[in-house]
Structure 1
Amino acid sequence: MTELELTVEVAAPPDTIFRAMTDWERQSEWVFGTRVCVVEGDGKSVGSEIDARTFGVSDRMRITRWDPPHAVEVLHLGRVVRGTGVFAVRGSRFVWTERLDVPFFYPLVKPLFVLMLRRSLQRFARFAEEYR
């Protein structure tokens, strides 16, 4: 299992940051190369499921913790992506943590994966600051 934690400062109130980070249908506006949709439930409660497709790879997730405006935790259910993910709000910071069982080729793609996450966080800060 590997753990990644990335943080970005956001010039927005915690409630706005939380609403922006859990607006699944608009996640493609800030997560690089990804389209997200709610596939079960309302997307705003424990047990709801969402599917994120990044470059054609499905990452189905079940919400296991819903604590507005502080955090949402998911369990990755896919074949390629397995583990847990947390979006958290700490004051004016958005913290993205992933604890993943990674495939054997992960060391080869890790630099690109981390770069994509960093760029996504930069885009998220702008997205959340303008979120309506």
Structure 2
Amino acid sequence: MADDVTSFVDGFVHEETQVGDGSVDLTLASVERVDESGAVDFGGDELADAETTTVEPEHRDEGDEYGWWDLDAGTYLVEYNESVDAAQSLFVLQPRDELVERGVTHPTLFVSKVPKIPLTVPAAGVSLKENARISTLRSPMR
């Protein structure tokens, strides 16, 4: 039942395209390149964010409404156009087949909110268009 998932999602780019049977596709809003390592300790006193640089999408042709990220091999942090707020529910967030079949992936997570997600790009790189559907959010029961 898609309504179980959709009721927790805001910010759809095109809801009719993004909603499937019991799932919602999430779309790419921004990309950050990880430049310098962060730090994680036991107690959190020495927790440090990784240093990142925003990667700007580029338009391929004059007049294009949306740009492309041409990403080289490496790890990036991505954010979605959509937000999820399901304080009392957990959903599975996984990469879409279209991403995985191009050698690109991110971890599968159980989420009630959607944080920035690490995206791993293979040696050949990848091109991702603004608003590309890159992840699927579904109930863990499906």
Instruction: Provide TM-score, normalisation by structure 2.
Output: 0.23
Instruction: Provide TM-score, normalisation by structure 1.
Output: 0.24
